[in-house]
Amino acid sequence: MDASGWQPEPGWRHLPGAGPATAGVWSATVGGREVVVKRLRVPDPHDPSGVLVPGDVNYWRRAADVALSGVVADAPGLREAPVVRVDEDTEGITLVHERVERHDAPGLWIAACLGRFASADLGRHPWLARDQLRSRLGLVERRGGWRTLARTPMADVADHLWSHRTVWLDRCDALPQVAQHGDPSAANIPGRAGDGAVAIDWAHLGRGPVGADLGYLSLATREDVDPLVEAYVAALTPGLVSVDEVRTGARVMAVYTALTRLDWALARVADGDGALAGKFRHPSVAPYIYAMQRQVGQIEALLA
């Protein structure tokens, strides 16, 4: 919630899920319509400088610019929930979207939706995100890299992948660059509209390596990367890319994201009492270890 004058209206129900630039999310009824209200706050001097750079993955007002532009209001495969209104003031921006009825969608269907969305024409808006994975690994680098993973049994593997990150990032830069949601977890793709999906949280919309969205999705689905790749490729515009190109983009995003998340989770408990190995079953760590273990095949492919 903003510390200054703006406040949510009485009766709004607070929802979980707020990013760095988000002051809060609420469900409400406006004019007889069930809506979701998100409040974006204007950055303060203590925020990272990237939040003020339109192309940076963490640009603070991208979700508002997406809503105002209508660029994904009717995009193929994946579209934004209908925008009710966008209100801007000196303290921030209030986004109001229609509430999306949730459907439990299988990962293969979402992968196909992402494949169709890859061909969307997003135009040349300066606020479209770029270099998503490179930017996030740059933040990790400024914190000293995967320092906590270096204290685990997978230290050698982590060191090899970290030292070769630029090689894989450059290889991804050479892949076809396509439209990407940027944060396509199943939780952010809750609805259906015709043969496509309705997505929320468009704060990372931009262009990136083909398959990158798919790799991100694979971290939160029951399906492994390979069947997701097959569904994604089948939905792509014929001749746009090869299966190997999609697999590379997905593999690099999945592996480097999974290891970054695991290092972050371990770092949060590392300074407590007891050996680090004894904390692998900690409830705030175990899910990230499981996610990493699911990527063993993809890790081995990058090591090779």
Residue 174 has pLDDT above 60, yes or no: yes
**Count of domains in the chain?**
2
The pLDDT of residue 46:
86
Q: Supply φ then ψ for residue 55, to 5 degrees.
A: -85, -10
Question: How far is it, in rounded angstroms, from Cα 288 to Cα 219?
Answer: 9
* Residue 272, helix vs strand vs coil: coil
pLDDT tens figures, 238-274: 888 999 999 999 999 999 999 999 999 999 998 877 7
Helix or strand holding residue 165 (H, E): helix 165-173
The pLDDT of residue 62:
97
168 and 268 inside one domain = yes
pLDDT tens figures, 140-160: 999 999 999 999 999 999 999
62 and 156 inside one domain = no
Confidence of residue 195 (pLDDT cuts 50, 70, 90): confident
The pLDDT of residue 199:
96
Between residues 88 and 21, the one the model is more confident about: 88
Closest CA to 140 of 150, 129, 153, 152: 150
52 and 117 inside one domain = no
Sequence-separated (6 or more) residues with CB below 8 Å from residue 162: 145, 146
Residue 3 has pLDDT above 50, yes or no: no
Q: Supply φ then ψ for residue 76, to 5 degrees.
A: -70, 135
Between residues 4 and 270, the one the model is more confident about: 270
Q: What is the mean pLDDT of residues 36-59?
A: 92
Q: State which of 48, 69, 98 marks the end of a domain.
A: 98
Task: Give the range of the structural domain holding residue 160, as residue numbers without chain letter.
Answer: 107-303
Q: What is the mean pLDDT of the chain?
A: 93
